[in-house]
């Protein structure tokens, strides 16, 4: 337990350091390109620049390890040679930002660490597929093998986090599972806080309490739900690009820099979360319209701008589908409103159902509020994505919606004033974040509150109000960890109500909530119940043991067959992505996150061939994609029958490893 805890802390610290590196590299490059900053908010341009450089710098050592010296030298030169720096923030803001960011990474790492010799794990499918990408990239990116399905390749789109993770694999004690579970969430929150430091420096004044609360809750909406950042790790790199989207839309940017920055952001989205390009395109077009609407050649310029944006979007889409055309076959209709209505009708009103309902109502209220304010560009960004999120399944558009909502928060923080309609939308969207979490409302609330602690210093409240808000969030987080999450939520409502009456009431209510939280946490700790949550077990020490043995004993040129696969989308069948941790090629294990999900006939043929080898009906060298391997092995459940010719090399209580002659 202590070793896992230390590893989680270590990987969260890597996330904070990586965020600092990206921003420092970006500031160094920005200073060389543009000289001194035109305004504090222009420093947000550093993030997309730094991100692109760091992702590109990760590639050379993956092609040939000695080239890592060149990459490190380049990053060091840019990071330590900068003539510009982020604006300073108060020590209180810095502590809350770092504490919230680290806590967010620590919480997710504690929940979703991999299995060990002694501990079970709740890590599951989607996150573990990105482990496959990190492990594969550390071995080869040209070609980029899918270790879970022999003969398949992983696409380069959205592989930025995987390449950076593979480059970090040289660090002592590096764990690709915790890289996705702890490092990237901590990186995302820390980078968002750094972006806020630059964004608010130009207008550091305080906002009224209603607007500050609206800003904080809308900003929280960018994480969708806490474990989403681990389900789709590239989002960690994509989320802070929202600052640049707002800058493109609202700040006076020269045409040349607008085109340059837009291209850099588009490339960043391509290698992180492609669908972030949707709000980028809308806001770029809005920027072109706003900057040219008084010119006599307005229509021609808008037509040219629209054509260029369409061409760029077409190029990105073409590049994506040329390498992964099977994505298009995954799209199918759904209906969130009908799903929620059916759940209510059937009496299945669980927290996730309530979260989805809150999100939908919040989306509608937000769209109406934007139209009332005549913020048509943001209304278009939200209005275009919401129906897709509600009615299209097969690919997640959450990044597009979350980014658009975050840009709304930035516009309010820039100097807007929230009304009751926007506040209601923000409350519902913010409430949906913990309720929708797939691990449950208890860990969802604790993690969402940790994220809020990091973000709230930049929401524009007065310093004392910020401290009270952070203290209330920490107290509610303690109550959630003590398994009384509803009490924590009720306490937050009480604090908000007291604050609406008077500041003096809030100053009494928050310490009272804190005292209750401390007592509840102490009692829970004494009973051994104080924890982020108790998610369902997906992997056991035996899983860790057998694939560690495969890594240590099976030659690199071997092909491994396993019975731990199948048609069912479960952790030990079609969603069995953990075996990639061994760094050996599987004939087929987890297929659900790759190309085979779109070609069921080929998947079924592959599964049938896999069974025929394990049953001795066919030799391992007789199946497709087995020509380039020097030896063959099998991993099965320990009680499963295998051909007599299989030589048992190792077994534990659950699994056995065989050499296939």
Domain boundaries, the chain: 479-539, 541-660
Cα 391 to the center of its chain, rounded Å: 22
**Can you tell me the mean pLDDT for 360-381?**
94
Q: What is the pLDDT of residues 598-616, one digit of tens each?
A: 899 999 999 999 999 999 9
Cα torsion at 629, 631, 632, 635 (round to 10°)?
A: -110
Q: Which residue has the tokens 């209330």?
A: 472
Query: 395 pLDDT exceeds 70?
Result: no
- The C-alpha angle 280, 286, 290, rounded to 5 degrees, equals 145
How would you classify residue 540: left for phi > 0, otherwise alpha for psi between -120 and 50, otherwise beta? Answer: beta
> Cα separation of 442 and 435, whole Å?
9
Assess whether pLDDT exceeds 90 at residue 536.
Answer: no
Instruction: Give the pLDDT score at 496.
Output: 77
- What pLDDT, on a 0 to 100 scale, did the predictor assign at position 293? 63
Find how far residue 207's CA is from the centre of its chain: 30
According to the model, what pLDDT value does residue 149 have?
A: 96
Q: Hey, which residues does 332 pair with through a beta bridge?
A: 393
The residues near 257 (Cβ < 8 Å, ≥ 6 apart) are 34
CA-based diameter of the chain, in Å? 84
CA distance 314 to 308: 10
Q: What are phi and psi of 469, to 5 degrees?
A: -65, -45
Percent of the chain scoring above 70 in pLDDT: 92
Q: Judging by DSSP bridges, how do beta strands 647-651 and 655-660 pair with one another?
A: antiparallel
What average pLDDT score do residues 504-510 get?
Answer: 80
| Residue 189: per-residue pLDDT | 97
* pLDDT above 60 for 321: no
State whether the Cα torsion 205-209-214-216 is positive or negative: positive
Mean pLDDT of 473-494: 85
pLDDT on residue 297: 60
pLDDT at 116 over 60: yes
Please give the backbone phi and psi of residue 600, each rounded to the nearest 5 degrees, phi first: -60, -30
pTM comes to 0.93
The position carrying tokens 């190792």 is 650
Helices (H) and strands (E) in the chain, counts: 27, 7
pLDDT per residue as tens digits for the range 257-301: 888 998 899 899 989 998 888 888 888 777 767 666 666 665 665
Residue 11 has pLDDT above 70, yes or no: yes
Query: What's the whole-number mean pLDDT along residues 242-248?
Result: 94
């Amino acid at each position: 337990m202590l070793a896992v805890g230390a590893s989680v802390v270590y990987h969260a610290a890597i996330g904070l350091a990586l965020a600092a590196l990206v921003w420092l590299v970006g500031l160094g490059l920005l200073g060389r390109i543009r000289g001194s900053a035109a305004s504090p908010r222009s420093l947000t341009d550093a993030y997309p620049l730094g991100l692109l450089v760091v992702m590109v710098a990760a590639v050379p050592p993956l092609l040939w390890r000695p080239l890592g010296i060149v990459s490190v030298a380049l990053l060091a030169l840019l990071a330590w040679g900068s003539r510009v720096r982020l604006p300073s923030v108060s020590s209180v803001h810095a502590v809350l930002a770092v504490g919230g960011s680290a806590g967010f990474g620590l919480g997710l790492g504690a929940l979703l660490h991999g299995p060990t010799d002694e501990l079970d794990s709740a890590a599951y499918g989607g996150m573990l597929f990105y482990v496959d990408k990190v492990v594969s990239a550390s071995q080869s990116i040209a070609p980029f093998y899918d270790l879970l399905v022999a003969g398949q390749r992983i696409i380069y789109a959205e592989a930025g986090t995987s390449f950076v993770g593979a480059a970090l694999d040289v660090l002592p004690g590096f764990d690709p599972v915790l890289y996705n579970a702890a490092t990237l969430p901590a990186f995302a929150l820390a980078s968002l806080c750094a972006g806020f430091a630059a964004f608010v420096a130009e207008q550091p004044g305080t906002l009224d309490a209603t607007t500050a609360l609206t800003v904080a809750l809308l900003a929280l909406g960018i994480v969708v739900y806490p474990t989403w950042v681990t389900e789709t790790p590239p989002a960690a790199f994509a989320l802070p690009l929202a600052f640049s989207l707002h800058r493109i839309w609202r700040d006076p940017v020269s045409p040349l820099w607008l085109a340059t920055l837009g291209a850099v952001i588009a490339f960043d989205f391509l290698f992180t979360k492609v669908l972030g390009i949707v709000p980028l395109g809308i806001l770029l077009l809005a920027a072109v319209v706003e900057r040219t609407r008084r010119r006599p050649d307005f229509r021609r310029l808008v037509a040219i701008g629209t054509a260029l944006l369409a061409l760029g979007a077409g190029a990105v889409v073409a590049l994506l589908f040329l390498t992964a055309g099977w994505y298009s076959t995954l799209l199918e209709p759904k209906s969130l409103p009908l799903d929620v209505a059916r759940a209510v009708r059937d009496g299945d009103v669980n927290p996730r159902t309530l979260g989805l309902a809150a999100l939908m109502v919040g989306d509608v209220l937000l769209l109406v509020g934007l139209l009332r304010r005549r913020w048509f560009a943001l209304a278009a960004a939200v209005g275009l994505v919401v129906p897709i999120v509600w009615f299209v399944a097969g690919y997640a558009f959450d990044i597009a919606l979350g980014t658009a909502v975050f840009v709304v928060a930035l516009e309010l923080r820039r100097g807007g004033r929230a009304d009751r309609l926007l506040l209601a939308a923000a409350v519902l969207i913010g409430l949906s974040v913990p309720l929708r979490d797939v691990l449950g409302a208890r860990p969802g609330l604790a993690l969402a509150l940790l994220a809020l602690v990091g973000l709230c210093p930049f929401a524009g409240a007065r310093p004392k109000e910020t401290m009270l808000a952070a203290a209330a969030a920490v107290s509610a987080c303690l109550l959630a960890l003590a398994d009384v999450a509803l009490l924590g939520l009720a306490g937050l409502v009480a604090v908000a109500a007291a604050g609406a009456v008077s500041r003096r009431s809030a100053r009494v209510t928050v310490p009272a909530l804190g005292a209750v939280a401390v007592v509840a946490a102490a009692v829970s700790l004494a009973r051994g119940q104080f924890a982020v949550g108790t998610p369902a077990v997906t992997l056991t020490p035996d899983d860790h043991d057998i694939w560690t043995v495969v890594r240590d004993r099976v030659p690199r040129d071997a092909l491994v067959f396993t019975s731990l696969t199948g048609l069912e989308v479960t952790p030990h069948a079609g969603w069995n992505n953990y075996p990639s941790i061994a760094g050996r090629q599987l004939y087929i294990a987890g297929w659900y996150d790759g190309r085979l999900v779109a070609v069921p006939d080929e998947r079924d043929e592959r599964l049938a061939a896999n069974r025929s080898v394990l049953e001795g009906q066919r030799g391992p060298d007789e199946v497709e994609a087995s020509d380039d391997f020097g030896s063959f092995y099998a991993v099965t459940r320990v009680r499963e029958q295998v051909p007599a010719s299989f030589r048992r090399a190792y077994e534990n209580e659950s699994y056995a490893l065989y050499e296939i002659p």
